[in-house]
């Protein structure tokens, strides 16, 4: 094997590995963004389906003449009814400070107003959407306290819910197109790289090199390019991750997607994209070189 | 007794569109001989050399090389013939990103010989063509004559039985051209069969070697002593 035949020294192909690396990076990024988007909208949809909120208006407590409507006596009763309702998984009563926190993005500079607002008491219920009986809970709760409101997020955000699904489909389409474009560009870059070397292939053939030797040599060249490209892609992904962590730090609302997706098999696949594309590139080089050799003399 | 090393038997060649290059030509070259292949530009000299180098297929007829009928040779068998039949191109066909030494060793490297093993041999050949000082130079820094001498060193490093040269003096001045032919003469004296294509009749006549003359789709042998035309040998 003429491993020291320095076709990689050919200045015409100097930038090909970097182009390849960029394509691998973009494809990985596309896959990664799709996974993040999918997980983000998925968890959002899941939360909408599995959570409802009970709202006890504070104003109603002040105006009520019934002493039994005092919050300290009302809450245990409500809690008891909720816990006995089929399909309820978890119940959590939000403290006043947690309620204020929900409003804080809209009343940033008005802390005094925020503290003095008669905020309702919120009870968050995690439910099993298959077995949860909403009408039963509503009837039982209305008997205890008629002014209580059940906020079903799924109904409330039905349009946003559809929007989320549409965004998922859009993201999938966009990322698929992006991914395919990256693959096509990679294949094009591999073929272009071979065409740059066509003169060399021609000379090697005229000097008596067999097709097997030429094919092996160029496959090895493609392998080197694939390794260089994959390394470039990983370095760029690493830098992007750090940049994203830096940009999103302190934004709890947009907490960095890593915390949403954790480490899953699809993330692992996204990380494998440069390697898979490297194999695709070597395969593409093999096909291209075989086709090119067939076109050469005496075929 | 000398053996026939190249034999054309009623060979025709036509390009697509029925453009005939030559028709029914026959000739034989014996081992260890030196011939010029002459004729006007476009007479088919390069095509004839390409047929011998298996870069083209004849439209009709049979070609025998080194005792083998190559009319229907497989592509995978071509490297064997090319290791025995070397070619010197008019445009040198050197790899610009390799040094003179790397270019010269290339045919042996393609046969799997390690660089270290063929390095000394290549340096000897560079010395023979007078370019030992330039072994680390890249082709772009060399003159046309120097490039052609590197191409000759590369062509002979495999010790071929036949050396084909297509207008080797086409890109060099007359004096350098003569020096190149002297190199071919030296090779021939060592037993290599040499066939040099040139349109330069004056250059061919400077040397007392027989000429294969291509004209109007036919080939004839012009012997130096008699300058006699022997059509269709």
Which pTM does this prediction carry?
0.68
pLDDT for A192: 77
- Inter-chain CB proximity A210 and B55 less than 8 Å: no
Q: Report residue B141's pLDDT band, with 50, 70 and 90 as the boundaries.
A: very high
Q: Report residue B152's pLDDT band, with 50, 70 and 90 as the boundaries.
A: very high
Q: Which residues of A touch B110 (CB under 8 A)?
A: 2, 204, 207-209, 213
What is the least distance, in Å, from the CA of B10 to any CA of chain A?
20
- Is the dihedral angle over the CA atoms B17, B20, B24, B28 positive or is it negative? negative
Residue in chain B closest to A216 (alpha carbons) equals: B110
Chain B interface, mutation test: which of A205, A206, A215, most B Cβ atoms within 10 Å? A206
B57 and chain A in contact, CB less than 8 A: yes
- The average confidence (pLDDT) of chain B is 89
- Inter-chain CB proximity A298 and B111 less than 8 Å: no
B60-65 sheet: strands from edge to edge: B19-30, B4-15, B60-65, B68-69
- Which residues are CB-neighbours of A297 under 8 A, at least 6 positions away? A205, A206, B50, B54, B55, B56
Question: Mean pLDDT, consecutive 10-residue segments, chain A of 299 residues?
Answer: 53 73 84 78 77 77 57 82 85 79 69 72 84 83 82 70 78 81 80 78 88 84 86 89 77 52 71 87 83 68
For B197, other C-beta atoms within 10 Å of its C-beta total 26
Q: Which residues of B touch A299 (CB under 8 A)?
A: 75
pLDDT for B227: 46
For chain B, give the percent of residues with pLDDT over 90.
61
Top-confidence residue, A51 or B35: B35
Rounded Cα distance, B37 and B222, in Å? 10
Residue in chain B closest to A210 (alpha carbons) equals: B79
pLDDT for A108: 66
- Inter-chain CB proximity B93 and A203 less than 8 Å: yes
B180-197 pLDDT, tens digit each = 899 899 999 999 999 999
Mapping DSSP to helix (H, G, I), strand (E, B) and coil, where does residue B43 land? coil
B178 and chain A in contact, CB less than 8 A: no
Under a CB-based contact definition with an 8 Å cutoff, are residues A190 and A284 in contact?
yes
A137-196 pLDDT, tens digit each = 888 888 888 888 887 766 666 677 777 778 778 878 887 887 788 788 878 877 777 777
Rounded Cα distance, B193 and B2, in Å? 11
Rounded Cα distance, B90 and B102, in Å? 20
B108-122 pLDDT, tens digit each = 988 888 888 899 999
Top-confidence residue, B114 or B104: B104
- Inter-chain CB proximity B55 and A10 less than 8 Å: no
Residue in chain A closest to B50 (alpha carbons) equals: A297
Local structure of residue B132 (DSSP, 8 states): G
Under a CB-based contact definition with an 8 Å cutoff, are residues A74 and A123 in contact?
no
Mapping DSSP to helix (H, G, I), strand (E, B) and coil, where does residue A251 land? coil
Phi/psi zone of residue A194: left (φ > 0), alpha (ψ -120 to 50 degrees), beta? alpha
Residue in chain A closest to B102 (alpha carbons) equals: A5
Of A2, A11, A208, the CB nearest to B97: A11
Cβ burial of A286 (10 Å; 0-12, 13-18, 19+) is middle
Rounded Cα distance, B211 and B89, in Å? 19
Residue in chain A closest to B98 (alpha carbons) equals: A6
Return the minimum-mean-pLDDT range out of B86-90, B171-175, B197-201: B171-175
Q: Which residues of A touch B106 (CB under 8 A)?
A: 5, 204, 207
Q: Which residues of A touch B154 (CB under 8 A)?
A: 207
Q: Report residue B133's pLDDT band, with 50, 70 and 90 as the boundaries.
A: very high
Would strands B162-166 and B193-198 be described as parallel, antiparallel, or unpaired? parallel
B58-96 pLDDT, tens digit each = 999 999 999 999 988 888 899 999 999 999 998 899 998
* pLDDT, average across residues B4-26: 92
CA nearest neighbour of A60 among A182, A144, A178, A179:
A144
- Reply yes or no on whether the pLDDT at B230 is more than 50: no
pLDDT for A220: 83
What is the least distance, in Å, from the CA of B204 to any CA of chain A?
26
- Inter-chain CB proximity A207 and B154 less than 8 Å: yes
């Amino acid at each position: 094997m003429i491993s020291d035949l320095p076709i990689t020294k050919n200045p015409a192909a100097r930038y090909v590995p970097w182009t390849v690396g960029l394509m691998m990076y973009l494809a990985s990024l596309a896959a990664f963004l799709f996974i993040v988007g999918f997980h983000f909208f998925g968890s959002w949809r899941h939360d909408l389906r599995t959570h409802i909120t009970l709202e006890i208006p504070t104003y109603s407590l002040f105006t009520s003449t019934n002493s039994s409507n005092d919050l300290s006596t009302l809450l245990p009763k409500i809690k008891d009814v909720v816990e006995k309702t089929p399909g309820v998984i978890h119940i959590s009563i939000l403290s006043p400070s947690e309620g204020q926190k929900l409003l804080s993005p809209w009343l940033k500079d008005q802390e005094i107003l925020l503290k003095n607002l008669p905020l309702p008491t919120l009870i968050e219920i995690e439910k099993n959407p298959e077995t949860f009986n909403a009408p039963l809970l509503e009837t039982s709760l209305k008997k205890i306290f008629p002014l209580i409101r059940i906020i079903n997020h799924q109904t409330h955000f039905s349009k946003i819910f559809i929007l989320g699904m549409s965004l998922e489909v859009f993201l999938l389409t966009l990322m698929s197109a992006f991914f395919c474009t990256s693959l096509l560009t990679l294949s094009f870059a591999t073929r272009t790289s071979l065409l740059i070397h066509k003169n060399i292939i021609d000379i090697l053939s005229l000097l008596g090199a067999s097709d097997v030797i030429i094919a092996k040599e160029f496959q090895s060249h493609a392998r080197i390019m694939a390794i260089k490209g994959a390394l470039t892609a990983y370095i760029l992904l690493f830098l992007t991750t750090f940049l994203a962590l830096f940009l999103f730090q302190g934004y709890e609302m947009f907490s960095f997607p890593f915390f949403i997706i954790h480490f899953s098999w699809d993330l692992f696949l996204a990380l494998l994209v440069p390697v898979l594309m490297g194999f695709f590139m070597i395969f593409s080089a093999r096909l291209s070189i075989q086709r090119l050799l067939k076109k050469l003399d005496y075929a | 007794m000398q053996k026939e090393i190249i034999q054309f038997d009623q060979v025709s060649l036509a390009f697509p569109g029925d453009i005939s290059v030559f028709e029914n030509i026959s000739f034989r070259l014996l081992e260890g001989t030196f011939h010029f292949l002459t004729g006007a530009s476009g007479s088919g000299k390069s095509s004839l050399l390409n047929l011998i180098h298996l870069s083209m297929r004849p439209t009709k007829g049979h070609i025998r090389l080194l005792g083998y009928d190559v009319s229907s040779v497989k592509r995978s068998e071509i490297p064997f013939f090319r290791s025995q039949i070397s070619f010197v191109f008019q445009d040198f066909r050197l790899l610009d990103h390799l040094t003179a030494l790397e270019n010269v060793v290339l045919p042996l490297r393609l046969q799997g010989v390690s660089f270290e093993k063929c390095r000394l041999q290549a340096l000897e050949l560079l010395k023979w063509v007078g370019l030992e000082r330039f072994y680390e130079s890249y082709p772009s820094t060399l003159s046309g004559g120097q490039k052609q001498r590197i191409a000759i060193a590369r062509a002979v490093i495999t010790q071929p039985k036949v050396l084909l040269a297509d207008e080797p003096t086409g890109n060099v001045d007359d004096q350098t051209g003569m020096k190149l032919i002297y190199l071919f003469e030296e090779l021939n004296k060592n037993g290599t069969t040499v066939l040099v294509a040139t349109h330069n009749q004056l250059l061919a006549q400077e040397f007392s070697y027989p000429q294969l003359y291509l004209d109007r789709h036919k080939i004839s042998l012009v012997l130096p002593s008699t300058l006699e035309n022997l059509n269709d040998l």
